Amino acid sequence: MLSLLPQLGVEDTAAIVAHLPRLKARLAHLTAAMPGMQHSIAIKTNPQISLLRTLVGWGYGLEAASIEEVRRAKTAGCCVDQIVFDSPVKTRLEIAEVAYERGMLVNVNTLDELERFPADATCVLGIRINPQVHAGSPDMFDVSKNESKFGVPISNQSELIRAALAYPVGALHIHSGSQMQNLEAQKEALVGLRDVALAINALAPGKIHTLDIGGGLPSEPLEGQTKMASYGAMVQEVFRGTSFKLVTEFGQWVHASAGFALTAIEYVIHPDRIFVHLGADFFMRDAYTTARPFPLAVISSRGEWRGGQQRPFDIAGPLCFAGDYLAHKKNLPGDLQESDYLVIDETGANTYALWSRHCSRTVPSYWAWDGNSIVKWAERQTIGF
Ligand SMILES: Cc1ncc(COP(=O)(O)O)c(C=O)c1O
């Protein structure tokens, strides 16, 4: 933090920072919890290109939700066989672009989509299954309801098996939803996935060789028995004795705490409101749904942490609509002042990725902290409509 402030230009009213030591620790924890699997990290959670290059450089794959993200993964240097392509609306042109990418896992969202692939495709063709379990994701992120637009319902087992046998399918995929709370329900989803694969292989030995179990764990501190460790043990238990290659697609769990942001406090309005330069543009999901409890601190422009007695403030963002608040009645040091910086921690997931162009405000510069020094990864970007 102290090395960042002197590097900010006069126009840098806000800055976004990747916390690489935390990122590394989280990935190490994921790999220890689920050893021997391919971890393709969800690009949509944080698509910053240097961040993707870092993940790839450390040996991780990337999960792409659009053809643009597939291209981004390649630009980041990701080997094709570590890329997973999951868009639910792949066009014929997009399918032509990936069909002969040997080893790329391409998951179809519906059985109709299978017909668009050439019979001699060399990508690994997977079918997304809706496991129809309720793993406790908030409504908006629960993709496993019976009427979900994602995947073929597992209750259509005979159709699934028929399709897997009729097309060059080698993989099956589930992603139950984000911020799953109920691991027992998720276990049911894993067992369902395994059993469909075994049923297909009983008819055509070796047909299904890859199972992609998606992502979906909420962020958590790396202390004590983590949910990730429990989930890893569960995954290993469910697939014990099988020889499937297992793939994961975590996003939020990996990235959320591996980043922070700071914004100048532009106005302090008596008695309890501050205006800052990051609002519903950076915290789009939070402003439009429920705000995550980001840890907050205040530092002066000279680099001194404010430690005055805490009192509640409303934190207003810069956009011109009434709902643009990062938080209401949040305790902050009472001695904060105009031109101080509000430091917002744990902003690494679903923030920069969702940047809203509302009001055409400039996207802040992006930085990386490696534990010793801070370097600029990207300049401020002007929005081009
Ligand atoms: C198919 C798929 N895989 C992985 C993810 C990443 O989910 P999470 O960030 O909850 O781990 C998502 C999120 O939307 C997704 O749709």
**Other Cβ atoms closer than 10 A to 86:** 27
In a domain, 265, yes or no: yes
In whole numbers, what is the pLDDT of the chain averaged over residues?
95
CB-CB contact of 346 with 257 (8 Å): yes
Q: Please state the three-class secondary structure of the chain as a single string.
A: CCCCHHHCCCCCCEEEEEEHHHHHHHHHHHHHHCCCCEEEEEHHHCCCHHHHHHHHHCCCEEEECCHHHHHHHHHCCCCHHHEEECCCCCCHHHHHHHCCCCCCEEEECCHHHHCCCCCCCCCEEEEEEECCCCCCCCHHHECCCCCCCCCEEHHHHHHHHHHHHHCCEEEEECCCECCCCCHHHHHHHHHHHHHHHHHHHHHCCCCCCEEECCCCCCCCCCCCCCHHHHHHHHHHHHHCCCCCEEEECCCHHHHCCCEEEEEEEEEEECCCEEEECCCCCCCHHHHHCCCCCCCEEEECCCCCECCCCEEEEEEECCCCCCCCEEEEEEEEECCCCCCCEEEEECCCCCCHHHCCCHHHCCECEEEEECCCCEEEEECCECCCC
Q: Atom 1 in ligand 1: which residue has the minimum CA distance?
A: 175
Do 204 and 218 reside in the same domain of the chain? yes
Residue 25 lies in a domain: no
Look at ligand 1, atom 15, and give the residue with the nearest C-alpha.
175
Residues 24, 369: contact at Cβ < 8 Å?
A: no
Amino acid letter, residue 278: L
Distance 251 CA to ligand 1 centre (A): 6
Say if residue 179 is in the same domain as residue 296.
Answer: no
Q: Final residue of a domain: which of 226, 254, 282?
A: 254
One domain, residues 224 and 314: no
Whole-number pLDDT of residue 180: 84
Per-residue model confidence (pLDDT) at position 178: 83
41 C-alpha to center of ligand 1: Å?
9
Say if 384 falls within a structural domain: no
The size of the chain, in residues, is 385
**Atom of ligand 1 lying closest to residue 143 CA:** 16
The answer to whether residues 233 and 320 belong to one domain is: no
The arithmetic mean of pLDDT across residues 77-82, rounded, is 98
Burial of residue 182 (number of CB atoms within 10 Å: 0-12, 13-18, 19+): middle
What is the distance between the alpha carbons of residues 250 and 60, in angstroms, rounded to a whole number? 11
Please give the structure tokens belonging to residue 100. 């002969």
pLDDT of residue 181: 86
Q: Are strands 245-248 and 365-369 parallel, antiparallel or unpaired?
A: unpaired
Give the domain range for residue 66: 34-254
Name which residue sits closest to atom 14 of ligand 1, judged by CA. Answer: 178
* Overall average pLDDT of the 217-238 stretch: 96
Residue type, 271: P
Question: In whole angstroms, what is the distance from residue 133 CA to residue 142 CA?
Answer: 10
176 CA → ligand 1 middle, Å: 9
Residue nearest atom 5 in ligand 1 by C-alpha distance: 215
What spacing in Å lies between the alpha carbon of 351 and ligand 1's midpoint?
14
- Type of residue at 63: E
Give the distance (Å) from ligand 1 centre to CA of residue 88. 13
The Cα–Cα gap between 121 and 292 comes to 43
**171 C-alpha to center of ligand 1: Å?**
18
**303-332 burial, b for 16+ CB within 10 Å, e for fewer?**
eeebeeeeeebebbbbbeeeebbbbeebeb
In ligand 1, which atom is closest to the CA atom of 180? 10
Look at residue 146 in the predicted model and tell me its pLDDT.
67
How many Å lie between the centroid of ligand 1 and the Cα of residue 61?
A: 14
Given pLDDT bands bounded at 50, 70 and 90, which one contains residue 198?
A: very high
Mutational pocket test of ligand 1: of 150, 175, 193, 247, the residue with most ligand atoms within 8 Å of the beta carbon: 175
Q: Are residues 243 and 274 in the same domain?
A: no
> What's the pLDDT band for 1 if we cut at 50, 70, 90?
low
Is 230's pLDDT higher than 70? yes
- Of the residues 26, 41, 45, which should be mutated to test ligand 1's pocket, given the most ligand atoms within 8 Å of the CB? 45
Q: What is the pLDDT of residue 148?
A: 75
Of ligand 1's atoms, which has the minimum distance to the CA of residue 177?
A: 10
Residue 305 belongs to a domain with what CATH number? 2.40.37.10
For 171, other C-beta atoms within 10 Å of its C-beta total 25
Position 197 pLDDT exceeds 70: yes
256-279: per-residue pLDDT in tens?
Answer: 999 999 999 999 999 999 999 999
Residue 24 lies in a domain: no
Total structural domains within the chain: 2
- For residues 141 and 279, membership in a common domain is answered with no
- Nearest-CA neighbor of 327 among 364, 288, 287? 287
The answer on 84 and 41 residing in a single domain is: yes
Same domain for 337 and 298: yes
Tell me phi and psi for residue 253, to 5 degrees: -60, -35
pLDDT tens readout for residues 109-132 = 999 999 999 999 999 999 999 999
Neighbouring residues of 279: CB distance < 8 A, sequence distance ≥ 6: 287, 316, 317, 318, 319, 324, 325, 326
Residues 222 and 108 in one domain: yes
Measure the CA–CA gap between 38 and 59, rounded to whole angstroms.
Answer: 10
Here the CATH number for the domain that contains residue 182 is 3.20.20.10
Predicted TM-score of the model (pTM): 0.96
Q: If you measure from the C-alpha of residue 86 to the centroid of ligand 1, how many angstroms do you get, rounded to a whole number?
A: 10
CA 115/CA 110 separation, integer angstroms: 10
Give the pocket of ligand 1 (CB within 6 Å).
42, 45, 63, 86, 175, 178, 214-216, 249-253
Asked which of 196, 220, 254 is the last residue of a domain, the reply is 254
Checking if the pLDDT of 144 tops 90, the result is no
Q: Tens of pLDDT along 87-115?
A: 999 999 999 999 999 999 999 999 999 99
Residues 249 and 263 occupy one common structural domain: no
Q: Report whether 113 contacts 92 (CB < 8 A).
A: no
Residue the block writes with tokens 């369902």: 192
> Residue 243: inside a domain, yes or no?
yes
Q: Which amino acid is at 123?
A: C
Q: What angle do CA 48, 50, 55 make, to 5 degrees?
A: 95
- Residue 29 inside a domain? The answer is no
Q: What is the pLDDT of residue 137?
A: 73
pLDDT tens for each residue of 278-333 = 999 999 999 888 889 999 999 999 999 999 999 999 999 999 998 999 999 999 99
Residue 339 within a domain: yes
Instruction: Tell me what the mean pLDDT of segment 193-203 comes to.
Output: 98
Centre of ligand 1 to C-alpha 295, Å, is 24
Would residue 383 count as lying in a domain? no
Select from 194, 226, 254 the last residue of a domain. 254
Predicted confidence (pLDDT) at residue 147 exceeds the cutoff of 70: no
Tens of pLDDT, residue by residue over 42-79, are 999 999 999 999 999 999 999 999 999 999 999 999 99
> Of all residues in the chain, what percent carry a pLDDT higher than 90?
89
**174 and 108 within one domain:** yes
Angle ∠(363,8,15) on CA atoms, nearest 5: 35
Same domain, 157 and 294: no
